Amino acid sequence: MAASPHILLVEDDVSLRTLLAEELELDGYGVTTAGNLAEAVAAITPALPDLVVSDLRLPDGDGLTLLARLQAAGHRVPLIIITAFGTVDQAVEALKAGADDFLTKPLSTDHLRLKVRRLLDQASLTSELAHYRSQAQAGGSLGLIGESPVMQRLRTEIRQVARSSAAVLINGESGTGKELVARAIHRESDRRQQPFVAVNCAGIPQELMESEFFGHEAGAFTGARQARNGLFAEADGGTLLLDEIGEMPLPLQAKLLRVLQEGTIKPVGSDHEESVDVRVVAATHVDLLDAVARGVFREDLYYRLETLAIPVPPLRERNDDVELLAMHFLQEAARRHGRGPMQLAEATLVTLTDYPFPGNVRELSSAIERAVTFCEGSVVQPEHLPARVRQRQATADTAASPRAGLEAASLAEWPTLEQLQNDYVARVMAAVDGNKRRAAGILGVNRRTLYRWLEAGGTVMRKGVGVGEGEVETGER
């Protein structure tokens, strides 16, 4: 079992330090406390914490000095600055210096706990990405991000297929990364030092396809002033990716089948055939067997390709990989835009994981690119995502609400906002077995507010039971 994250809490106010330490320990974290800068430096000497929470003003220095010392030693530890003297200028100074967040006193412990959890989650994702990148350099990940079972199975299939020189068919929806899979097959094969050539069959006019694939002799047709090698000749010795092969016209399919069978091509206008050594990797998002039934794809070519078929899973079947992919795209986009370190708010991660991404990984990448473009700060919020992604979350929230389907009811039957709130609070309390602390965290309010709501609604909760007005709750938590 992995060890619980360890937090260094630096605060000179003894009562506040004790309160915060207890709150963090209740969340399962290991906590080391320090009352000044010297104690904090001594605490990080034997072992680095996973996160630091530090007061800005300390008796013998400040939290930014501690941050500078960590940075000078080459350590990247998430740090939250808290202070009773918070100003915008101080917040900007702290964030520019490398602090990850800034909170002012009087401090909401629930707010702090949420920020701690978010920063630790981000640090965990960053660590996973670093592990992935080290694997990528060593060839372990094959350049494919994701640790879900379907991705592990995909890597196994790629390595198995790479040992052969036979044609391969890669099936997958648009945006799933079929070209990345094709490149991984090439890199894992004995042809890795030879050319990898990719072509989209849907992007070439039909009248030019034969020339593009097989080349042509000078004067073979109007405008052919000189001989030109085709894609097969360019890929000789290596791999040729035929993307969207379902768009290839039938006459060219027959010529492709001959190349696969005989290993020869005949340039347009030539009287002789040329030998080529090319491994063909075909990719498609359509059902080729259905295309065969409709007479738009050759059955013999289909079975020639289908022998080594690799399905690429859609993103909805590897939902566990969404956070890792999102962090990867966030870091890449931040780098391209010349931005500093950026993070995804917890609500943003929830929104992303709840969205089905019909456009798959490509759509996720575009969503993060848009978010980075419109995010003015360092934390990407849900409002920075495309509207379709946000609307999906709003729709899901509505469907899960106790009053889902209101649009079908008459206006007279619609409940008041207070009734909706009371119903929702009661559902949350029941779901957490009456634990007010957990309920307040889910509702995004402090416990005082929750107590006020419960009292105003005439309902409090005890373990597993709704308690009506006038009854007393026991065992308050």
431-476 per-position pLDDT tens digit: 888 787 788 878 887 766 777 777 766 544 433 333 333 333 333 3
Number of C-alpha atoms within 13 angstroms, CB side, residue 459? 16
Taking CB atoms within 8 Å and a gap of at least 24, the contacts of 68-71 are: 68/97, 69/41, 70/44, 71/98
Separation between Cα atoms, residue 169 and residue 311, nearest integer Å? 8
- What pLDDT band is residue 283 in, cutting at 50, 70 and 90? very high
Separation between Cα atoms, residue 444 and residue 462, nearest integer Å? 21
Q: Which residue has the tokens 């202070």?
A: 83
- Higher-pLDDT residue of 464, 205: 205
Angle, nearest 10°, between helix axes 109-138 and 14-26? 60
What number is the average pLDDT over the span 169-194? 94
pLDDT on residue 456: 67
- Tokens coding 123: 């640090």
Separation between Cα atoms, residue 280 and residue 182, nearest integer Å? 10
Separation between Cα atoms, residue 310 and residue 293, nearest integer Å? 21
Separation between Cα atoms, residue 161 and residue 376, nearest integer Å? 46
Q: Which of 171, 185, 158 is nearest to 305 (CA)?
A: 171
pLDDT on residue 457: 65
Separation between Cα atoms, residue 459 and residue 281, nearest integer Å? 64
Residue 405's region, left for phi above 0, alpha for psi from -120 to 50, else beta, is left
- What pLDDT band is residue 411 in, cutting at 50, 70 and 90? low
On average, the pLDDT of the chain sits at 82
Of 117-126, 129-138, 419-428, 440-449, which gets the smallest average pLDDT? 129-138
**Taking the chain, what is the end-to-end CA distance rounded to the nearest angstrom?**
28
Helix (H, G, I), strand (E, B) or coil at 37: helix
**Which range is most confident: 107-121, 206-220, 286-300?**
286-300
Of 43-47, 149-153, 309-313, which gets the smallest average pLDDT? 43-47
